[in-house]
Structure 1
Amino acid sequence: MELLRRLRIEPFILAILAAVVIAAFLPVSGGAATTLGWVTTIGIAVLFFLYGARLEPRELRAGLRHWRLHSIVLGATFILFPLLGLLGQWLLAPVLGASLAAGFLFLTLVPSTVQSSITFVAIARGHVSAAVVSASVSNLLGVFITPLLVFALMTTDGSVTITWGSVGKIALQLLLPFIVGQIFRDRILPITSKIKRLALFDKAVIVLIVYAAFSEGVAEGIWTMVGVPQVLGLVGACIVLLAVVLSLTELASRALGFDDRDKRVVQFCGSKKSLATGLPMAAVLFVGQPVGLLVLPLMIFHQIQLIVCAWLAGRYERAAGEPDAKVA
């Protein structure tokens, strides 16, 4: 651990990279994948239960009222990202081909992540209650906005079917545990306040999400469809995209006079794209299309955003003080 500190390497980042490498060589499949899915689902639910238990009700009410912050996050997710995606598609099509360039555009149209966005805000000592609202609203609205954006900005064959399944999943897996945590806060808080390394649970859930998502892609054989130069080109494009959005969201939140806690919400919630939401959407949006190629940019961006934001959250965490202090 001392060597890692001297090299300024976050153990959290190493854990994420290890999950990617293990998934590449030992992807989970079959019954094990089903079990991992349930473990991840339960872990996320517990995570949000603990968030609810740790947040004071007045913090949550303040988060709901923070309309300027939520507007910036939604604007970054559904306006800034798509504009950059259109530019990226135009630049990348001659180099990567039409399908991968279209996939790059698609990744910019999906909603923000929920669990990882809020987890990074919590790690970075940001305004967690506002993050819960921003990320959840983004994901819920994305069920409707993303198909409309796909119709408006992409050429697709087949039909789009919108169901309430994803909405129900968000409500049951994320919002309900959070509300229950709020209800039983007075009973749970004395227990959680005595657990000094509770932040490790937040990070462990993120590592599980990375392993599960990357395993799914490997099991589908997506890496056999493209060459190394194309993958490297996509990686470079995704890095540039994330850097631009992180910079612009930081500048916007600073220009609007947000405090540091709210800046973390704008940065982490406004710069994420959800693989968990994007993959199911792609399956129904692109019937008869090369879905594997269309979702590859999203898969790559998802891994990059987790690694970069893990580093960034750790940097903010160190600047804020004690790593395992309680997040309010």
Structure 2
Amino acid sequence: MSLTSPARALARRVDRYVLALLATIGLAALLPARGASADAVGGATTVAIGLLFFVYGARLSPQAAFSGLRHWRLHLPILCFTFVVFPVLGLAVTTLPASVLSADLAAGLLFLCVLPSTVQSAVAFTSLARGNVAAAICSSSFSSLLGVFLTPLLAAALLHGVSSGGVRFSTDQMLNIVVLLLVPFALGQAARPWIADWVTRHRRITVVCDRGSILLVVYSAFSQGAAAGIWGRLSPARFGVLLALCALLLALVLALTVLAAKRLGVGHEDRATVVFCASTKSLASGLPIAGVLFAGKDVGLAVLPLMLYHTLQLMVCAGIARRWSGPAVASDQQPTTSPAPAATV
């Protein structure tokens, strides 16, 4: 066996995609999109996400999609983590003294915990990890639809007067999910008889859509934060505490979801679905809802925990997905006691 150079050995240990995420954050901090540029980035992100779900629809057989829809043994624990376990953990965080966590940041962390799971990132990571994409699409989409109603109600019940003007939410959230995510997926399903073979042969197209859409979401989110100037409002110590709490929350939920998947007795494909759908939180849904719930207050600080958590989940889940996509994992993907067949993609 020939010896590898130090550079190649280092390249194997460092996830290039995580480096790309960090570079994207740095670019957004140095050159945030503003004005017309921000509109262009938002439009590009929308197109990328729509294309991603069109490709998923073209690759996913209707039989696999139906099996994902009826895979209730996965959907129930994912929803329980999203709307029960997370809020309980958020309430525990709010018991910290104000000297450690200010009231605004505590409210922001609790708001983060009542949000639905993200759709595009959860599905993209499930796909990268060679998980059950059909179940991931159904579960994360259902979570987002429920979040339109449950998130404002949970926030009103748990935040104790933060939204003093009353909780109002719009059905535009549901309409956006249908138009931006489910419609492209349905169109891909309709076009499947003509393009499925070509898309399957060119698997790199899906990989580019997966990673490109996530990078665009990260750049757009951090551009908004940089443009609003929220990064300079916290002391380094307070910012470090908030970052540590977000990291602790993510680590705890990831550990609990892995444990739950083991207790369910599912194989690798369904384990990836549980972990990525139950541990992620939606920035796309969270920002508009925060604008309503925190109207008249400091929205920037309220959504800062969400932005930090969202960034951490992208970097950590990207590393996990890359690790689980390796040959050793791929050879052990058959579900053990899963009640429905995994997605055929």
TM-score (norm 1): 0.95
CA contact (8 A) 1:4 1:11 kept: no
Contact preservation (8 Å) 1:127, 1:261: yes
> Percent same amino acid among aligned pairs?
47
Query: Is the counterpart of residue 290 in structure 1 residue 327 in structure 2?
Result: no
**1:174 maps to what in 2?**
181
Q: Which residue of 1 aligns with 2:11?
A: 5
Deviation, structure 1 residue 313: 0.4
Distance 1:67 1:91, change over 3 A: same
CA RMSD of aligned residues (A): 1.6
- 1:246 Cα offset (Å): 0.6
- Runs of 5+ unmatched residues, structure 2: 1-6, 332-342
- The answer on whether the counterparts of 1:124 and 1:316 sit within 8 Å (CA) in structure 2 is yes
Does residue 313 (structure 1) correspond to residue 321 (structure 2)? The answer is: yes
Map Cα deviations across residues 115-162 of structure 1 (whole Å, 9 max, x no partner): 001000000000000000110010110010011111111022212222
| Whole-angstrom distance in 1 between the partners of 2:20 and 2:267 | 31
Q: Runs of 4+ in structure 1 displaced over 4 angstroms?
A: none
> Could you say which residue in structure 2 is the equivalent of 1:183?
190
- Between the aligned partners of 2:297 and 2:14, the Cα distance in structure 1 is 41
Distance 1:327 1:296 in 2: 38
| 1:1-328 paired onto structure 2 within 5 Å | 2=8, 4-6=10-12, 8-91=13-96, 93-155=98-160, 156=162, 157-198=164-205, 199-318=207-326, 319-321=328-330, 328=345
Contact 1:53/1:182 (<8 A) preserved: yes
Comparing 112-121 and 92-101, the one that deviates more: 92-101
Gaps of 5+ in 1: none
Q: 1:203-254 CA distances to partner (integer Å, 9 max, x unpaired)?
A: 1111111111111111011112211111111111011100110111111111
**Taking structure 1 as reference, are residues 9 and 120 closer, same or farther at Cα in structure 2, changes over 3 Å only?**
same
Kindly state the Cα deviation for residue 104 of structure 1 after the two structures are TM-superposed. 1.0
TM-score, normalized by length of structure 2? Answer: 0.91
Matched residues, number: 324
Q: Which residue identity lines up with residue 175 of structure 2 in the other structure? A: G
Q: Distance between the aligned counterparts of 1:144 and 1:55, measured in 2? A: 29
Q: Which piece of structure 1 moves more, 98-107 or 85-94?
A: 85-94
The superposition leaves residues 149-185 of structure 1 with CA deviations (integer Å, 9 ceiling, x where unpaired) of: 1111102221222211111111011001111111211
Separation (CA, whole Å) in 2 of partners of 1:115 and 1:261 = 17
